[in-house]
Amino acid sequence: MDINWTIIAYLVVLFFGIMIGYSLKSHKKIIELFQLKSKKSPVISQSNMIKLLAWLCTLIAIGTAVYTVSFIARSDIAIAKVIKVVERDKNGGTSSFPIYEYYLPNGRRLEGRATTEDGSTYSVGDEITIRFISKAPHQSRIDKFSHHWGITAFMIVAAIFLYSINLFLRKREL
């Protein structure tokens, strides 16, 4: 049986979204969340907006973590060769993104591209370890922490930061 892990990742995010909704316990809490100051435009308080953003970061972190775990579980490892390095100017510095080629066990050649920067310097001809999905071999990633877990880690840090700000604002309101 072939499992579509992307759908499972979305279902997990949906499940946690529903759990968050139930944690509000009633529609009264939802109405309090959007403190209506006039009939025309609902206004949300600053601390509640931060709380919503923190929950959104948490949901994105959970979804990307589930997808990453499924990607790693379904993927095979290969050695790829950097065939081109694309450099982009970024805030006064440059960042490099490798374009690499790799071969499937049947000899078919494919190309991949890094979508995130990991701080490494790449040169044409470098050999790098990648992961690709056997049933969809065009889906590949460089096999490094930042390429697998970068978005998840960023969203977790953002959620913790936003929860901390929310706690600070709540204590200040008391």
Over the stretch 103-139, which tens digit does the pLDDT of each residue have? 999 999 999 998 777 778 888 999 999 999 988 999 9
Domain boundaries, the chain: 5-72+149-173, 76-143
Query: Which fold does the domain 76-143 belong to in CATH?
Result: OB fold (Dihydrolipoamide Acetyltransferase, E2P) (2.40.50)
d(C-alpha 90, C-alpha 150), whole Å: 18
Predicted model pTM: 0.69
List the one residue out of 146, 145, 147 whose CA is nearest residue 112: 147
